[in-house]
Structures are given as structure tokens and as C-alpha cells.
């Protein structure tokens, strides 16, 4: 009998696992043969952050990384990837592309095992099918989405399984399983504090209400705290193994409450609530500016207001991302509530459900956590409704149709969710050429979105990237890209040299605790950052050059140029906006003999040379046309319209794109260098000029 059940469990897991991978291969089928998505005969990944871990894995395999390169050679994802690359006869590119699909599909294992413990194996199979491809889970674990998300839900679902078994069986092995899962989860994803503590809080509440005299439950709480301490992974692992050994020998039985208090003290002293509060401040209570520094307090624009995943989302999007459809979501909630009534142990999943529902205020990234519990709720609902039917044919028909019904909107989403690779082959070719021009110690200036890919493909250093993008480090780069070439080149030299210098500063050096822009201002004898920035146009004083600097300017940055400019369009002394450059881009337009409709209520009257923006009329100063000739050379044409005009229009013919911009945006280094290839020889020289991306070297 036991053997039959085991066979059924294995069958359900294998079928659900295979289904999860098969659905993820739809993307591969859709884009098979598209050369622009391939590099080294393999698909490129489709998430920027993935290049961070890929860089670490690459350096581990080569056992080569330079000092202060920020390569994540100690990160779990990089270590695991390097391990797979070492033992598997598969190319590195294919490993990082397919790893997310394979590892994330393992989530079906704990889901089926939890259902088995609750005597609803059939419901677990349905839940595993649904959870493995639900919108938000699929979006962050599809092929090519090489990021920590490929195991970020597996670990807490495993934790839910071991805690369920621990509370239902009181078996000592689940004390160890639970603690090891916490250690592994933190090793894999250092931001796992909040969810770990949520599970701990639920167990604590249960103990205080119902199990105050239970030795086992105090042991569970204590070993969880040891595993959750803010100490190195090996220290926590060692602590867990020692405590478990003491449990086995009954050394702590008589003093378990004192030991629990001791464990809680260690938890607090090693960090405790600090990381949890930090995450809440960032995603829930994030402000639009942040103040830093003491001697020179500055205000910076924060990145959280520009990150989509940290923004509030409509309820229908929230519901769809968790269950695929509003109706399915409501039924899943009903099923989960019913499950909790029949099996109160399911209340443990509130840790994941609660974090998932935080998406309503903290952003869509959190919805992924609610997927497994609510999928179990949906599976349970189908299972229970079917149990009221007395004919096998009717039961099987209902379960089949209901399961197909809940899977359909999710599979439809997968088919429609055609996410491209981060870069195209043409763009990567530019970066590959740059790798042979720049050295590993050189810096490449670009926006933080491209930091990780730059480091991976060109093997260079960057000032900002997907993890290093606080307002204080974004400000100088934003200023370089959105101001004139002289200011851009000089500030680039300052920021690079100050960044390198900061690595060697002593811990008690006051410069270490200030931003680069604050140190630049104070070291040059100014008390106001505006005065220092203005001095860049009148002073040739610069830090000593220690390495080369390049500007990487891709066409794709055009769409986020207004966002880039926001980080430097403010007075750092008081945080107030000091300029609002006008910039508008479109490739959807309607051209007639008398007018040019650019969309969004913006129309150019060709006869008058006036741009109508809603109810306003603005004179056009200059009309530009740029295009590449048959030899691939940039051609620029210019027509003056009104000397007192406030705006200019650029038709980038080769890109079939129009730009409408004011004088400040027109003179920005990014526009002058990329759009016009108009470089000031005193400050820049061209290195690579490709329509997809252009690289210029700073001459200072």
C-alpha cells in the first residue's frame, strides 16, 4: 500500500515537473532561429541582473577576478552555476539560459509532499501544475530569467513542508530539516530574513496559544533562531548541527526555555530586525529623496520611485499575477480559507500569503510568494467539490475540466509573454569589441541598467549597476549623460578616481562615509555642490589619471533618457528640482503635407514651424535630420526655423524615430554623442560607432 502511494507521489512529481519545463520551452519554440537573440550559438538571457551572477560564475571558472571589481564570486548563484558548468557537458551560455526553468520547476516537489501529508494528493498535483506556471512565478523563472528567483520560492515552500511535518509529527529530523532549509535559504538569498521571521512568528504564536508546555516546540523555535542569526553561513550551519546534536543527547531538555531566551539574544545581537526594517523602508515606506552626509548634508533622488517592481499595482494585476485570472484568484482564496478550516496547519502558509499580499502596497515583485499557498487552495477546492460527486466519470470529467480551466489563462499568458533578450547580438558585438580595447581596470560609464551586462561581456568596471544604484552614485552618472561634454568628461574623471580611492580609505576616514560628490565639493574648497559643478567649466584641475574611461551609449537608453535625467535635475543642497528638460520620443507618427502628428497631442504645423502641444503653441528653433549613408557614415542636416524657438525636432531617419527636445536636452552629452556623433575633440574620441550602441573614450 505504501509502495503504491510512493509510486503515485513520484508519478505526480515527475508529471508536474515535466509539464512546468514543457510550458517554459514555449519561449524557445517562439524565438527559435532568431539570430539577434543568439550569442555563441546559444540564446542570451532576458534579465539584466542575471549578468551579475554570470560574471561571478565566469570568474570562478577562470579563477580570475581583479580587486574591487564587485564580481560576486562568493554568491550562491555564481557558485552553483560554476559547479554545473564544471560537471556538465553543456556550454556556459546554455547553462545560465536553461537553469531557471529546471531549478524553478522543482517547486512542484514540496507542493505535492505537503498535499500528501494533508491526505489530498490529487489536490497537490493540481496545485503543482498551477503554481509552476502561474503568471508571476513564470515571469521570474522562465528560460533566460537567470536570477535568484529560480530558487527563491522553492526554499520557503520547502520550509513550509518541513514545518508542517514538524508540527504534525514532532519528529526530531524535521527540526534539522527546518534549520538547514533556513541556512540554505539565507545562503542562496540573503534577503530572506523577512519570510524566515514571518514563519518564526507564526510558530511562536502557536506555541504561546497552544503548546506552552511542549519541549519539542521550544526546541523548534530555538533552532530556528540559531539558523536565522545574522552571522556567516558556515557559522550558522555549525551552530545548527551542534544544537541538533545536543537535542539528540537531551542536553538542553531541562533548560530549553533558558536556551530559547539565549538564542533570541544571539539573534538580536547578530542583526535581528535590522535587515527586515531595511527592506520595509525600501519597498513600502520608500521616499522620493534621501539625505546623506553630515558635514555636507545632501539630498538625492532615490531609485525606488523609478523601479516598476517596487510600485503599487492595480488589484486585477495583483490577482492575475497570483492565479492567472480574477475568478481563479477569488476561488483560490476561498479554497485556501476552506483548507485552513479543515487543516489549521495550513495557516502556516500565511507567512507566504501575507508577503504576497504586500504587493498591493510594496510592488508586483511580492506576488510570487502567494502563488504556492493559493495554488494549494485552488487544488483543494477542486478536490473537495469532486469529493461530493458519486460517479467516477463525473469526478474525472470535473477535475479534468476544472484543472484545464485554471491552467488556460496562465498558459495563454505564457504564449503572449514574449520577453526579448536583454541585448541583441549586434549590441553584444559592440561590447565584445570593447573587451579587446579596454582593460579590466578601465571604467565604462553608462546607466545602471547596463552595468552588469557591461561587466560580463566587456570585462570592465562600472560606476553603477543593478545593485549599486543609490541616489548618491546615480547623481554623477546622470549629470554626465545629461549635461554638456566638458562637464561630462571632467566629472567622469573625478568620479572614477574618487571611486577607486574610496576602496583604500580607512574605516575611520570621514571621506569614507560621504558620497563622491560631497568629497569632490569639499576637497575643492566649496560648500555648495552647484559651485563645484559650475567650476568644471572654468577649472582644469582634475585628479591624477590612473586608468582609461569610456562612455557606452546605446540606442535603447533613448527611451529612459527622461528617467536618467531625473537623478541630476535637482539641487543637492535642498532636494528641490532645478530644471525640467523637455524630451519626447516617438516612432509612431503621421506625416502629411501640412502637419506632422507625433502622437500624445503633439502636432507640428509645417507651414508655421510651430509645435502644438495640447492647447499650447511653441515655436521650433531647429529641425534636424540624421541618417547613415550607404557607407555607414553619419549624415546630419539642419534647418533653422525660429531664432527664438524653445524646442528643436530631430528626425532620426535610420531609426524611424522623432525627438522633440529643449536646449538643455539637445546639448546633453548623450544626445550630442549618440544622435549626432558630434564629439568635442578636447574631451572625447570615438572608439566604436555602431547604430545600436556607440563608445567614446574620455581624453582627460
DSSP β-bridge partners for residue 107: none
DSSP secondary structure string, 274-343? HHHHHHHHHHTS--SEEEE-SSS-EEEE-GGGG-GGGS---HHHHHHHHHSSHHHHHHHHHHHHHHHHH-
Whether residue 201 is found in the same domain as residue 329: yes
Alpha-carbon span 423 to 44, nearest angstrom: 8
All three cell numbers of 258, joined, read: 533558558
CA 93 to chain centre: 20
The model's pLDDT over 24-37, given as tens digits with 9 standing for 90+, comes to 999 999 999 999 99
Alpha helices in 537-618 (DSSP H): 561-566
Alpha-carbon distances of 260 from 162, 204, 257, 266, 275, rounded to whole Å: 20, 11, 5, 10, 21
Q: For residues 354 and 429, state if they share a domain.
A: no
User: Which pLDDT does position 638 carry in this prediction?
Assistant: 93
Q: How far apart are CA 134 and CA 323, in angstroms?
A: 6
Whether residue 222 contacts residue 256, with contact meaning beta carbons closer than 8 Å, is answered with: yes
Mean pLDDT in residue range 152-178: 96
Length reported for the chain: 700
C-alpha 170: how far from its chain's center? Answer: 39
Residue 626 parent element (H or E):
strand 616-628
Q: Extract the C-alpha cell encoding 74.
A: 562568493
Q: Are residues 355 and 468 in the same domain?
A: no
Give the Å distances, CA to CA, from 431 to 68, 427, 435, 550, 687: 21, 7, 6, 12, 11
- How confident is residue 211, by pLDDT bands cut at 50, 70 and 90? confident
114 and 178, same domain (yes or no): yes
At 118, is the secondary structure helix, strand, or coil? coil
Pairwise CA distance, residues 360 & 546, whole Å: 48
Question: CA–CA separation, 318 vs 320, rounded Å?
Answer: 6
Split into its structural domains, the chain has a count of 3
Question: Using CA of residue 237, residue 239, residue 242, residue 246, what is the dihedral sign?
Answer: negative
Pick the last residue of a domain from 416, 440, 475: 416
Both 399 and 533 in a single domain? no
Domain identity same for 400 and 436:
no
Q: Is the pLDDT of residue 631 over 70?
A: yes
Place 59 in a pLDDT band, splitting at 50, 70 and 90: very high
Q: Are residues 275 and 412 in the same domain?
A: yes
395 shares a domain with 431: no
Beta bridge pairs of residue 624: 638, 650
Question: How far apart are alpha carbons 338 and 15 in whole angstroms?
Answer: 27
Same domain, 385 and 443: no
- How many angstroms separate the first and last alpha carbons of the chain? 78
For residue 698, tell me if it sits in a domain: no
Cα-to-chain-centroid distance, residue 70: 17
Rounded CA-CA distance 357/376 in Å is 16
What b-and-e string marks burial along 16-52, b requiring 16 or more CB atoms within 10 Å of the CB? bbebbbebbebbeeebeeeebbbbeebbbbbbbbbbb
pLDDT value at position 597?
92
571: its cell numbers: 539641487
pLDDT at 70: 86
- The answer to whether residues 432 and 341 belong to one domain is no
Average pLDDT over the chain, rounded to an integer: 91
Domain boundary among 416, 447, 477: 416
d(CA 6, CA 412): 33
Residue 290 is predicted with a pLDDT of: 47
Greater confidence, 363 or 182? 182
Q: Do the domain assignments include residue 682? A: no
| Tens of pLDDT, residues 289-318 | 444 445 678 888 876 655 555 556 789 999
Query: Domain range spanning residue 602?
Result: 582-667
Q: What is the pLDDT of residue 413?
A: 97
Structural domain includes residue 307: yes
Q: Helices 233-248 and 215-228, interaxial angle, to 10°?
A: 160
Is the pTM higher than 0.75? yes
| Neighbouring residues of 281: CB distance < 8 A, sequence distance ≥ 6 | none
Considering the domain boundaries, does residue 436 fall inside one?
A: yes
Co-location of 196 and 324 in the same domain: yes
Model confidence over 503-535: pLDDT tens digits? Answer: 887 666 766 778 999 999 999 999 999 999 999
Same domain flag for 471 and 337? no
Domain end: 543, 558, 573, which one?
558
The CATH number given to whatever domain includes residue 496 is 3.40.1380.40
In a domain? residue 570: no
Cα dihedral across residues 590, 595, 596, 602: positive or negative: negative
DSSP three-state, residue 162: helix
Within a domain: 410: yes
User: What does the block give as the cell for 157?
Assistant: 515552500
Amino acid at each position: 500500500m505504501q509502495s503504491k502511494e510512493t509510486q503515485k507521489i513520484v508519478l505526480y512529481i515527475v508529471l508536474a515537473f515535466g509539464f512546468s519545463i514543457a510550458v517554459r520551452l514555449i519561449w524557445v519554440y517562439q524565438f527559435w532561429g532568431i539570430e539577434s537573440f543568439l550569442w555563441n550559438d546559444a540564446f542570451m538571457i532576458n534579465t539584466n541582473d542575471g549578468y551579475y551572477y554570470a560574471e561571478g560564475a565566469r570568474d570562478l571558472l577562470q579563477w580570475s577576478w581583479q580587486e574591487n571589481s564587485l564580481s560576486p564570486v562568493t554568491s550562491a548563484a555564481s557558485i552553483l552555476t560554476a559547479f554545473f558548468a564544471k560537471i556538465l557537458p553543456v556550454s556556459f551560455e546554455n547553462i545560465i539560459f536553461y537553469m531557471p526553468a529546471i531549478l524553478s520547476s522543482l517547486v512542484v516537489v514540496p507542493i505535492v509532499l505537503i498535499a500528501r501529508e494533508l491526505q489530498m494528493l490529487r489536490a497537490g498535483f493540481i496545485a503543482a501544475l498551477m503554481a509552476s506556471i502561474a503568471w508571476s512565478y513564470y515571469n521570474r523563472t522562465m528560460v533566460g530569467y537567470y536570477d535568484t528567483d529560480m530558487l527563491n520560492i522553492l526554499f520557503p515552500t520547502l520550509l513550509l513542508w518541513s514545518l508542517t511535518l514538524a508540527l504534525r509529527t514532532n519528529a526530531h529530523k524535521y527540526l534539522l530539516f527546518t534549520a538547514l532549509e533556513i541556512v540554505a535559504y539565507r545562503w542562496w538569498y540573503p534577503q530572506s530574513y523577512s519570510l524566515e521571521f514571518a514563519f518564526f512568528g507564526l510558530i511562536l504564536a502557536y506555541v504561546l496559544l497552544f503548546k506552552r508546555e511542549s519541549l519539542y516546540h521550544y526546541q523548534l523555535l530555538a533552532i530556528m533562531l540559531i539558523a536565522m542569526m545574522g552571522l556567516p553561513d558556515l557559522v550558522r550551519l555549525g551552530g545548527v548541527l551542534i544544537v541538533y546534536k545536543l537535542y539528540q543527547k537531551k542536553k538542553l531538555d531541562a533548560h530549553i526555555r533558558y536556551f530559547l531566551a539565549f538564542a533570541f539574544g544571539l539573534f538580536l545581537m547578530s542583526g535581528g530586525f535590522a535587515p527586515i526594517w531595511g527592506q520595509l523602508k525600501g519597498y513600502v515606506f520608500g521616499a522620493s529623496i534621501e539625505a546623506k552626509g553630515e558635514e555636507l548634508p545632501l539630498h538625492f533622488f532615490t531609485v525606488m520611485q523609478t523601479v516598476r517592481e517596487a510600485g503599487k499595482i492595480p488589484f486585477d494585476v495583483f490577482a492575475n499575477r497570483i492565479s492567472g485570472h480574477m475568478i481563479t484568484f477569488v476561488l483560490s482564496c476561498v479554497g485556501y480559507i476552506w483548507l485552513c478550516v479543515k487543516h489549521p496547519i495550513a495557516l502556516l502558509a500565511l507567512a507566504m500569503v501575507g508577503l504576497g499580499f504586500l504587493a498591493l502596497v510594496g510592488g508586483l515583485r511580492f506576488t510570487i510568494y502567494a502563488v504556492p499557498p493559493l495554488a494549494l487552495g485552488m487544488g483543494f477546492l477542486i478536490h473537495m467539490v469532486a469529493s461530493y460527486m458519486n460517479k467516477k466519470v463525473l469526478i474525472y470529467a470535473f477535475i479534468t475540466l476544472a484543472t484545464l480551466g485554471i491552467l488556460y489563462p496562465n498558459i495563454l499568458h505564457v504564449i503572449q509573454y514574449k520577453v526579448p533578450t536583454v541585448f541583441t547580438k549586434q549590441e553584444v558585438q559592440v561590447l565584445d569589441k570593447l573587451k579587446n580595447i579596454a582593460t579590466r581596470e578601465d571604467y565604462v560609464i553608462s546607466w545602471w541598467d547596463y552595468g552588469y551586462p557591461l561587466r560580463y561581456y566587456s570585462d570592465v568596471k562600472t560606476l553603477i549597476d543593478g545593485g549599486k544604484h543609490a541616489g548618491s552614485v546615480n547623481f554623477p552618472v546622470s549629470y554626465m549623460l545629461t549635461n554638456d561634454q566638458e562637464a561630462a568628461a571632467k566629472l567622469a574623471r573625478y568620479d572614477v578616481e574618487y571611486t577607486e580611492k574610496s576602496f583604500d580609505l580607512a574605516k575611520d576616514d570621514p571621506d569614507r562615509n560621504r558620497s563622491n560628490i560631497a568629497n569632490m565639493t569639499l576637497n575643492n574648497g566649496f560648500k555648495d555642490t552647484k559651485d563645484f559643478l559650475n567650476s568644471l567649466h572654468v577649472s582644469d584641475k582634475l585628479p591624477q589619471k590612473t586608468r582609461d574611461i569610456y562612455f557606452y551609449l546605446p540606442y535603447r537608453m533613448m527611451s529612459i533618457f527622461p528617467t536618467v535625467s531625473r537623478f541630476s535635475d535637482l539641487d543637492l543642497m535642498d532636494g528641490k528640482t532645478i530644471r525640467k528638460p523637455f524630451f519626447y520620443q516617438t516612432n509612431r507618427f503621421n506625416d502629411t503635407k501640412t502637419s506632422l502628428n507625433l502622437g500624445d497631442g503633439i502636432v507640428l504645423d509645417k507651414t508655421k514651424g510651430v509645435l502644438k502641444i495640447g492647447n499650447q503653441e511653441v515655436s521650433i528653433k531647429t529641425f534636424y535630420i540624421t541618417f547613415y549613408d550607404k557607407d555607414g557614415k553619419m549624415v546630419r542636416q539642419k534647418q533653422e526655423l525660429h531664432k527664438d524657438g524653445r524646442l528643436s525636432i530631430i528626425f532620426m531617419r535610420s531609426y524611424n524615430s522623432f525627438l522633440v527636445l529643449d536646449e538643455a536636452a539637445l546639448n546633453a552629452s548623450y544626445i550630442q554623442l549618440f544622435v549626432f556623433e558630434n564629439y568635442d575633440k578636447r574631451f572625447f574620441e570615438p572608439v566604436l560607432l555602431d547604430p545600436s550602441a556607440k563608445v567614446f573614450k574620455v581624453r582627460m
